Each structure stands twice: as C-alpha cells, then as structure tokens.
Amino acid sequence: MFSALIISGVAWFATFFSIYWLPFARVPLSSDFFLLAILAPVDFLFGSLCLLVACINHGLLFRAIVQTNVRAEVKVLSLLGWLSPAVLVVFSIKVVALVFCMSVIYGILSMKGKEQQKGY
C-alpha cells in the first residue's frame, strides 16, 4: 500500500517536470516545437527522461488497477495516483494525454510479459 503512494508521487512529479522541461509542452502544436527541441537539447533530454519515468510509473499504477490479485485499498490508491496528473492539464494537455496513453500501453505490455513468463 505504501509503495502505491511512492509510485504515484514519483509519477506525478515526473509528469510535472516533463511539462516544465520539455520545450514544446507549452507551445501550440505546430512545426515550431521541432525547432525548440533542436535549440534546447538539454531541456529536451531532461524532459524526455522525466516523461519516461512518468509513463513507467503510471503504467505500474495501471497494472495494479487492472490485476485481480491486488487488495481493494491498493486499487483505490493506485486509481487516485493514476488519475492525479489530470490536474496538470492546465499546463499542457499534450503531455498529460501522452502520459495516459503511454501508461496504458506500458501497463498492458508489462502484464502480457508477466503472463508469458509464467507460461499461461
């Protein structure tokens, strides 16, 4: 149960810092954000690493929500942690939508990988 709180805290802060560091998170969707990624490579690197950490941790929370052998209170905490970046839509809807989509994909792929390891 405590690990769900730690994972959700790390995931929320990683999402926040990816919005803060990614150069194109705060500009409208246009060809200018490619130029910003080229002109600010360090910011792009830190933002991408934060985005990766956010997607992996949100994927772990999604997996805890979907699995059947997890206690109910862990599922509730995982659901709250998985939905917590929704408040960051105010800053950048692009990054938050990307985090949610990538977390679902990572959660599903990691569940399939575990099933294949067990031999189901």
pLDDT for position 52: 92
pLDDT for position 104: 92
pLDDT for position 105: 92
pLDDT in tens, 54-79: 999 999 999 989 988 888 898 999 99
Whole-prediction pTM: 0.82
pLDDT for position 103: 92
Does the pLDDT of residue 120 top 70, yes or no? no
Judge residue 92's burial from the number of C-beta atoms within 10 Å of its C-beta, 0-12 exposed, 13-18 middle, 19 or more buried: buried
Cβ neighbours of residue 66 closer than 8 Å, sequence gap 6 or more: 107, 111
pLDDT for position 20: 87
